[in-house]
Amino acid sequence: MTGEGSDVFRAAAGHSRWAWLQAGDGGPQLALLDDADVSLTFHAGRREVTRHADGRAEVVGDDVFRSLAEELAAGAPGDRWYGYFGYAARADLPARADPALPDAVWMRPSRVLPLAVPAAGTAPRGDEEPQAPTPGWYADAFATVQEHLHAGNSYEVNLTYRTAVASGMRPLDAFARLCALNPAPYAGFVHHDVEGARAFVLSSSPERYARIDLAPGGARTLEAKPIKGTTPRAAAAHDDEAAARHLATDPKFRAENLMIVDLLRHDLSQVCEVGTVEVPSLMAVESYASVHQLVSTVRGVLRPEVGSVAALHALFPAGSMTGAPKLRTMQIIDEVEEEPRGAYAGAIGWLGADGRADLGVIIRSLLTDGRGRYVLGTGGGITVQSDVDEEYAESGWKAARLLRALAPDAVATAR
């Protein structure tokens, strides 16, 4: 599949701001902005929210969550916004600004088309490259994390790193390849080609960050589906079944998942009605093109006075991408990770003026400002039971298909 051959990309031609999401209400959606339509961008380093419309840019605030809530309140009842929150989008938490892309982009389109990216077959399983010996910089970070874990500063730390990839491939074509290699329920593409706020986010995420639905009687339900525990799929059926069984029963994976479920129960309890937070599914194995994942579901009923944007703010960033407890663990992450995460570990999706929303966690994703350099983040949850070589190997095969999306001209450099 190529960008030129897709109805999605033909429809988007000539638009500098648009988004495509797999997880749309009623199916995949292409959101197109005309010149007069509004987009918001946030730069965490400057603490500036900028409003873009009619070729003009105006700073309108210092908190993208607040600015987005204000735009939703002032707009039409049928408005819907598409975009992403990067890892540093919450200015009250310890996270470094992205030096290249905005730390958040949200767009209000005048047109939304029900268009799907065409299927391109199923990518083969078990074809990821074997990993080299673990590098010293990762081992050092892992050792520092273990010191914090043994000191009781955290129960689990999601340790990640970034890989830079030089490639001349257009973001449109890279996204098309990514969809073919790694189909996922929260696939999405944000295209914001605006001087000073340029961002292309290519996501093939399997993980739900948060979904807000309207229940009978006007109540809103909030649901998160954290993923903790991942294993690669095998080419042979019996080996693949064995990998899924191991994932479901391994004590380390189950401990990782349970800690994040407890964190999410806490996060939801801050914004939900007392007694409504529940875990309808605990540690279910879900299978995707390249991996099996251990997935839990945490759900609650939002309190009437809590706005939908405020609810997303309370959960942000996803507990599966931090560890527990969240604040202290984010401080540890800021200490040991050498580069900012950027959009990686944030959330991508849509928000409606009617109170509904659906966003995925930004993992299995490529980020670029369109100047021939892509960045991808990868990593995993570290506990006291973790092995440094196993964790580094896991981070490598998680990233393998992303790198293949940029082949044949990709040149990767770790960190």
Residue 54 confidence class, pLDDT cut points 50, 70, 90: very high
* Mean pLDDT, rounded, for 235-240: 94
Percent of the chain with pLDDT over 70: 92
On the question of pLDDT at 139 being above 50, the answer is yes
Q: For all residues of the chain together, what is the average pLDDT?
A: 92
Residue 10 confidence class, pLDDT cut points 50, 70, 90: confident
CA distance 80 to 356: 9
Among all residues, which ones are annotated catalytic? 207, 228
- H or E element: which one contains 261? helix 251-269
Residue 288 confidence class, pLDDT cut points 50, 70, 90: confident
Nearest CA to 306 out of 296, 297, 317, 315 is that of 315
pLDDT in tens, 19-43: 999 876 778 999 999 999 999 999 9
Residue 221: phi and psi, rounded to 5, are -100, 140
State the virtual CA torsion across 298, 156, 253, 388 in degrees, nearest 10: 150
pLDDT in tens, 175-209: 989 988 888 889 999 999 999 999 999 999 999 99
CATH hierarchy code of domain 3-414: 3.60.120.10
pLDDT in tens, 304-356: 999 999 999 999 999 999 999 999 999 999 999 999 999 999 999 999 999 99
- Where are the domains positioned within the chain? 3-414
Nearest CA to 363 out of 310, 288, 255 is that of 288
Residue 121 confidence class, pLDDT cut points 50, 70, 90: very low
pLDDT in tens, 371-401: 999 999 999 999 999 999 999 999 998 998 8
Q: What is the pLDDT of residue 4?
A: 42
* Mean pLDDT, rounded, for 230-248: 93
CA distance 387 to 316: 28
On the question of pLDDT at 268 being above 80, the answer is yes
DSSP state of 370: S
* Mean pLDDT, rounded, for 154-180: 93
End-to-end Cα spacing for the chain: 30
Q: What is the pLDDT of residue 351?
A: 96
Q: What is the pLDDT of residue 413?
A: 64
State the virtual CA torsion across 170, 173, 178, 181 in degrees, nearest 10: -130
Q: What is the pLDDT of residue 348?
A: 98
| Cis amide bond preceding 118, omega within 30 | no
Q: What is the pLDDT of residue 216?
A: 84
Q: What is the pLDDT of residue 411?
A: 67
CA distance 205 to 342: 16
Q: What is the pLDDT of residue 2?
A: 45
What does the chain come to in residues?
A: 415
Q: What is the pLDDT of residue 415?
A: 55
On the question of pLDDT at 76 being above 90, the answer is yes
Nearest CA to 41 out of 54, 23, 55, 60 is that of 60
On the question of pLDDT at 249 being above 80, the answer is yes
Rounded alpha-carbon distances, angstroms, from residue 398 to 46, 67, 82, 386: 33, 35, 26, 17
Cα angle vertex 287, ends 368, 122, to 5°?
A: 65
On the question of pLDDT at 243 being above 90, the answer is yes
On the question of pLDDT at 92 being above 60, the answer is yes
Q: Provide the token pair at 174.
A: 């890279």
Percent of the chain with pLDDT over 90: 81
Residue 320: phi and psi, rounded to 5, are -65, -20
